[in-house]
Amino acid sequence: MFVRALSLRDFRSWEQLDVELSPGRTVLLGANGNGKTNVLEALGYLSALASHRVSADAPLIRTGADRARIGAAVVNAGRELRIDLELNRGAANRAQINRSPARRPREILGVLHTVLFAPEDLALVRGDPGERRRFLDELATARLPRLAAVRSDYDRVLRQRSALLKTAGRNVRSRADLGTLDVWDGHLAAHASVLLEHRLRLVHDLAPHLADSYRALAPESRPAVIGYRSGYLPPELLDPARTPAATDRDELEAVLLRELAAARTKELERGVCLVGPHRDDLELLLGGGPAKGFASHGESWSFALALRLAAFDLLRGSGAEPVLLLDDVFAELDRRRRTALAAVAAAAEQVLITAAVPEDVPAELDATPLRVRTSGDPDSRISLLVADASAAVE
């Protein structure tokens, strides 16, 4: 899989960008703040319908514009598809596939697969559980795009059930209507069981790739292991050695209904939903101990990078090799980690890299350089792409 062409309109600092791309390695060169990362962010958004930098769409729309547009021609196994996405300020986003309107933006999911590694990924190890849940859910959706609808339905039910818990908890008389909660319990358990099934399956499938990737990056370090952490699922369902079964979804739904009923009094007292995948975590272990709070800076970087490389290997094994996006990461890595990452990049079908100077990119990658600069004053700068055939990445 590779992106043959990319176009941006009013996306971040880019008023307009139209660029032809090729398989192999391309490096966007330019000073910090010139808009290099915005290009990778746009491709990542087309792939996951989410930014790796912000949780809302408003910052993605250039100041003064009403909407931003991202378009890409994606080639997979000799077949080309065009996908376009319009981000609207104060209105619903819209998408097209081969210039035909899609009913929902999530219909473009699965056309483009990307794996993006950026400095922000250190939060996968050191950040809150929400960072790791998002990693799991975006990767699971890349493997099975229809999970986007399940995630959306789960979030909707969770909001409505939480609102009911707050109302019932404040008003004793409303407890006569708590039978409504039983209905919402059923909806929550149904959607949550699907999401949990795929999260558990993903952790099981990802674990060997993670162990291999971390060993290649830090062979002298303790072994890296991942698991799924949940306060309400029985230990037998969380056993990392257990192969996920076809009956998991029914069992998970039954467990969720039982635990929701048991937690109802506490939920009414606190006005929050205490049971469900929104409270779980991806467990990261080094040598049997938690990585968060105990891993060194180098070990944390290696773990974060290993998670992304494991995701790349897992998606590659599904038959559609993802586009690898590397945002200014080589400058953060020591020689061994740079060499290990360069070996993966050299074998990938398409890699887009950002760097401030050519020296930040390993010479063996032989990357095609594209120069990025800005024009205008600092408050209204516009990014520009300048093809520089004479520039060499050495």
**346-375 residue pLDDT tens:** 989 999 999 999 988 988 898 999 999 988
Confidence of residue 244 (pLDDT cuts 50, 70, 90): confident
For residues 73-94, one letter each, b for 16 or more C-beta atoms within 10 angstroms of the residue's C-beta and e for the rest, the string is bbbbeeeeebbbbbbeeeeeeb
Query: Partners of 101 in the beta sheet?
Result: 96
CA angle, 69 then 75 then 78, to 5°: 155
pLDDT recorded at residue 394: 40
The model's pTM is 0.91
Q: Which of 155-159, 267-271, 308-312 has the lowest mean pLDDT?
A: 267-271
Query: Partners of 29 in the beta sheet?
Result: 355, 371
Burial class of residue 70 in the structure, from the number of CB atoms within 10 Å of its CB (0-12 exposed, 13-18 middle, 19+ buried): buried
Closest among 312, 351, 292 to 115, alpha carbons compared: 312
Residue 165 Cα to chain centre, angstroms? 31
pLDDT recorded at residue 391: 45
pLDDT recorded at residue 329: 87
Where are the domain boundaries for CATH 1.20.1050.90 in the chain? 133-297
Residue 337 structure tokens: 């980690």
Can you tell me the mean pLDDT for 120-128? 93
pLDDT tens string 33-62: 899 999 999 999 999 999 999 989 999 999
374 close to 34: Cβ distance less than 8 angstroms: yes
Longest Cα–Cα distance in the chain: 76
pLDDT recorded at residue 176: 52
Phi and psi angles of residue 383, each rounded to the nearest 5 degrees, phi first: -80, 145
Residue 309 structure tokens: 């490389």
Residue 287 structure tokens: 């040598």
Closest among 3, 10, 6 to 69, alpha carbons compared: 10
Confidence of residue 272 (pLDDT cuts 50, 70, 90): very high
DSSP annotation of 357: S
Average pLDDT of the chain, as a whole number: 90
pLDDT recorded at residue 169: 66
Residue 46 Cα to chain centre, angstroms? 11
- Binding residues are 30-37
Distance CA 108, CA 383 (A): 27
Confidence of residue 197 (pLDDT cuts 50, 70, 90): very high
Which fold, 1-113+320-394? Rossmann fold (3.40.50)
Residue 5 host element (H or E): strand 2-11
174 close to 215: Cβ distance less than 8 angstroms: no
Confidence of residue 245 (pLDDT cuts 50, 70, 90): confident
Q: Which residues contact 235 (CB under 8 A, 6 or more apart)?
A: none
- Three-state secondary-structure class, residue 2: strand
301 close to 122: Cβ distance less than 8 angstroms: yes
- Binding residues for ATP are 30-37
pLDDT recorded at residue 335: 84
pLDDT recorded at residue 389: 45
Q: Which of 93-97, 207-211, 286-290 has the lowest mean pLDDT?
A: 286-290
Mark residue 313 as left, alpha or beta (left: phi above 0; alpha: psi -120 to 50; beta: remaining): alpha
Distance CA 298, CA 333 (A): 8
Q: Is the pLDDT of residue 380 over 80?
A: no
Sole residue written with tokens 């398409």: 350
State what percent of residues in the chain have pLDDT above 70: 95
Burial class of residue 173 in the structure, from the number of CB atoms within 10 Å of its CB (0-12 exposed, 13-18 middle, 19+ buried): exposed
Can you tell me the mean pLDDT for 194-202? 95
pLDDT recorded at residue 372: 94
What is the domain class of 133-297 according to CATH?
Answer: mainly alpha
Q: Which residues contact 136 (CB under 8 A, 6 or more apart)?
A: 199, 202, 203, 282
pLDDT recorded at residue 209: 95
pLDDT tens string 125-181: 999 999 999 999 999 999 999 999 999 999 999 999 999 988 876 665 455 557 788
pLDDT recorded at residue 283: 96
Sole residue written with tokens 């009094």: 265
The 3-state DSSP composition of the chain as helix, strand, coil percent (nearest 5) reads 45, 25, 30
Where are the domain boundaries for CATH 3.40.50.300 in the chain? 1-113+320-394
Go through the chain and tell me how many residues it has: 394
pLDDT recorded at residue 198: 95
Angle formed by the axes of helices 179-217 and 297-316, nearest 10° = 100
104 close to 149: Cβ distance less than 8 angstroms: no
Residue 172 structure tokens: 């004793």
Residue 251 structure tokens: 């069992």
Q: Is the pLDDT of residue 102 over 90?
A: yes
CA angle, 251 then 256 then 260, to 5°: 155
DSSP annotation of 109: B
